[in-house]
Structure 1
């Protein structure tokens, strides 16, 4: 999952960017968690390096985008910053904060999608973690962040990912051990879920990619504790 922030004081532009990101998500299979900020001071206040990409408006009332980017760079050298602007005279300052690119207003989807794809390529080179999964035809390389959850059924494991589903022979406990350092949790004996994709908890189930996955009573407290810890570390 890609954590993306939109820092934009105009609601119409923020809504348009969100619409474009959702469209790109459907077309590319990349999964985004989008956070919206209305001014530069909002994102810099308590910033903890939680984002992969920041779409930053330059002209804002309390703290402009360039100043916000300078503050963020003091804490985070890896986040990809892209400026949203209708002015092109910020190039030199943009290089000073290592901005990847500019998106010019009015924003077209084609230009935006090209630039967003470039940003995603940059972060994947830095952060992608893979596991090797034994398939009947050989070994499959799977991006850890593409896995929504793994479901156990008999002697088979069904992997639900952002790139589709596939089934292998295996034991869920083996993958529980393999993925223990990547924020996965065994919600019950049949599911190993990626906490990054949990959209909520209701009626004894966690919600992932539009599906309700049962949390066993015995694991509920531990699951909620793990989810709370993960959410706190992502803020």
Structure 2
């Protein structure tokens, strides 16, 4: 898979160094990175930049990197943050926002590669356990186990998540999300993609989900959906 790396850094040279280190590291370990560079915390916080890892300069102008991390953690508790700073004494403050690590400028490649080993383990775990949903109010990081089902109405996706009072709405493709979410999810109709962990009752015409919602199979997808549910119930998925 390709990991999305976000570099939030107002110093072009420092940003270029991190980009080069990520590219080199990816070649050496066989990983692929999609890298985006932002110059300010305001750009970072506008909710349009989903990432699997964030390299965040503490000394950003205006809203600092530490303040940006505090805001980020209000909606995202899992994406790893690696602070990049000129001042090592700021490192201890990162525990308040659960920072994964710190790198002191100028960042040498040997130190970068050493710290990325830990970051890769966290990203791999997160990729299997959470999903990012870029809503109009900002990107939400949701545990995959809490997604009950996803439905599409016209061109809008509605993510129904356990514990939320209403669905998360975002433009998108149900087919693309089916590929992204993986084998624990099953397409039962043109409009509905379900989390098989949340199925409570299976009937001839449809299913009942853990939140009480009743959904119907489409004729063309019923056979494959029932087979997928049988495999899941048998523990082979």
Shorter-normalised TM range? 0.5 to 0.7
Structure-2 residue corresponding to 1:182? 180
Shift in Å at residue 45 of structure 1? 1.6
Structure 1 CA distance for aligned equivalents of residues 122 and 20 of structure 2: 22
Q: Secondary structure at the match of 1:106?
A: coil
For residues 205-227 of structure 1, the C-alpha deviation after alignment (integer angstroms, 9 at most, x for no partner) is: xxxxxxxxxxxxxxxxxxxxxxx
8 A Cα contact 2:79 2:126, kept in partner: no
Structure-2 residue corresponding to 1:39? 40
Structure-2 residue corresponding to 1:66? 66
Pairing of 1:51-130 with structure 2 (within 5 A): 51-128=51-128
Structure 2 CA distance for aligned equivalents of residues 92 and 15 of structure 1: 26
Structure 2 CA distance for aligned equivalents of residues 10 and 96 of structure 1: 25
Structure-2 residue corresponding to 1:24? 25
Structure 1 CA distance for aligned equivalents of residues 126 and 181 of structure 2: 18
In structure 1, runs of 5+ residues without a counterpart are 130-176, 185-235
For residues 108-136 of structure 1, the C-alpha deviation after alignment (integer angstroms, 9 at most, x for no partner) is: 0010011112111112123238xxxxxxx
Structure 2 CA distance for aligned equivalents of residues 124 and 27 of structure 1: 17
Structure-1 residue corresponding to 2:15? 14
Structure-1 residue corresponding to 2:214? none
Q: Secondary structure at the match of 2:103?
A: strand
Q: Secondary structure at the match of 2:28?
A: helix
Structure-2 residue corresponding to 1:147? none
Structure 2 CA distance for aligned equivalents of residues 70 and 100 of structure 1: 14
> Where has structure 1 moved over 4 Å in runs of 4 or more?
none
In structure 2, runs of 5+ residues without a counterpart are 130-174, 183-237
8 A Cα contact 1:4 1:54, kept in partner: yes
Shift in Å at residue 183 of structure 1? 7.2
Q: Secondary structure at the match of 2:98?
A: coil
When normalised by structure 2's length, the TM-score is: 0.53
When normalised by structure 1's length, the TM-score is: 0.54
Shift in Å at residue 22 of structure 1? 0.6
Structure 2 CA distance for aligned equivalents of residues 77 and 47 of structure 1: 17
Structure-2 residue corresponding to 1:189? none
Pairing of 1:113-192 with structure 2 (within 5 A): 113-128=113-128, 180-182=178-180
Shift in Å at residue 42 of structure 1? 1.0
Structure 1 CA distance for aligned equivalents of residues 64 and 16 of structure 2: 20
How many residue pairs were aligned? Answer: 135
Structure 1 CA distance for aligned equivalents of residues 30 and 36 of structure 2: 19
8 A Cα contact 2:103 2:112, kept in partner: yes
RMSD: 2.2
Structure 1 CA distance for aligned equivalents of residues 178 and 71 of structure 2: 34
